[in-house]
Structure 1
C-alpha cells in the first residue's frame, strides 16, 4: 500500500466543490473516473497548472490602456508602446478589430532599427542611418538631432543631418530632414562620435491673419513666439512662428486661403507664391 499524504480540510460550499470537480475533470485530475480535487490542488502547488488573472477587464480599462499606447506612440516612445501592446494582446477581452489593429502595430514597429533610433534619441547619441527607398536609392545620413513626430496618422523622423544634397528647403533649414518611417523596411544604424545638437535648425516666419481667422485663431503655444493685434492695422493679427520645415509649414497654412498672408522672410513667401502659382495653372482652362 502506498504512503498516504497529509490531509487538508477545505471548507467550501457544495457549489464550489462542484466547480473544483469540474476543473479536475477538465484537466484530467481523476481517481479512476471520478474527479480528484486533491490532485488538482497538488498540480497547482507544483505549478503544473498556473493560476492566471481572470479575463474580466472592463472596456474602460482596455480603452485607457490603448489610449496610453497611442500617446506613447505620439511622443515617439515606441518601445514603451510595444510593451503595452503586448500586455493588451495577452487579454481575451479585446474586440476583434482592436486585436487586429494591435497586431498590425506590432508587425509594423517591432524592427531592431526602430528601437535603436529611439534609444539613441533618448541618450542624445549622434548616429548614422542608411537605408534603401522604394526606388532602390540608397540614402546615408549623419544625424545629430532627431525626434519622432506623428503627422497624418503616420510616424516621421524629423532630424538634423550633415548631408544637404537633394534638400529643397530654404538655406536656413537645409540641414533638416523629414523621413517617413513606414517607408523604411530595413536600415543600418550605428553610433558616431561628436556633439548632439539641442534642436533642429529653426526659422522665424511672420504671418498676418485677416477676417474671421484673425478672431478664431488659437495660438500654437509650442511654436508661436508671439500673437498680437497690429495697432496700425485694425482687425489684423500678427503671428510670429518658429518653423523647422517649409514643406510642413506650407501644408498647414495653405488651407487658410486668403485669410492668411505670409509676410516674411522673403524666401518662404516666394515658396508659397510658387505653390499658389502651380495650383492656379492646374485650374486654368
Structure 2
C-alpha cells in the first residue's frame, strides 16, 4: 500500500489515504492508517475510527461505498478535529491572514462571510494563513498554516474581481468554489481577532469576558469528551481573551468598506505601518 506524506497545520502526516495536500518530508508527527485499531472509538454514519493520541495514530475504517473525496473530507473535517485537541491544539471556526508579520484572525459561524473577508484582505496584499478552520497550538498561542485554498461563493468571486482565477466546485455546497491560494507557511501568533456578525459595519472592542464567550461560541467541542482536552480549550481561550484585542464587527454588504473600518480600528499604530506598505491602488480599490 502506498503511504502518502502530507504537510498540514505544521504537522507531517503519513497517510494510507491521499489527502491532496502539499508534500512533507521529515519525521512523521501523525499516522493515518486504513482499518481497525486501538484507542478512543469514534462511530460515524460513514464508518468507524480509532484515535490513539499516545501513539500518534488515527485508524479509519470507512464505509466501502465512500469515494476518495468523501474519505478525504471526513479525515480533514471530522477525524482531525477530534484528534488534534488530544495532541495539544484548539480548533476555532475562522480564517486568518498575515501582512508584514501581523496576523489577523476572523471568526464567524458558517455563511457569515469570514472567507470573503479574508479574501478581501488577500486582494489588498495580505497572505492567507488558513481558511474556515483555525488550529491553535495551545502552548504558544500560534495559528498553524492551513490548506492552501479558500472557498468562496460566486458573487464574492465576482465582487473581488477573481473570476479569472482557477477554481473547482465545492461538491458539498452548490454554488461555492475552492480557489487555490498560497498560504503563509509559518505558524503565527495573532495580533488581533475579529468576531463577525451582520449589521451596519460598526466595530468595537470586547471586554475579556465578552471575548471569551465569543471565542467559545466559535470553537469546536469534542464529540467524545476528553477532560484534559476540554480544560486545554477553556484555558487557551481564556489566555487569548486576556492577551489579545478581540473585536466584534457587524458587516455591511460593502466588503472593502468593512476592511477599511477594521484596519482603522485595530491596533492603529501597528496597522498604520502596514497600511503604508500596501500599494495605494489596492487600498483604494
* TMscore range, shorter length: under 0.3
Whichever structure has more helix as a proportion of its residues is 1
- What TM-score, normalized by structure 1, do the two folds share? 0.26
Which gives a bigger RCO, structure 1 or 2 (Cα 8 Å, sep 6+)?
Answer: 2
TM-score under structure 2 length normalisation: 0.26
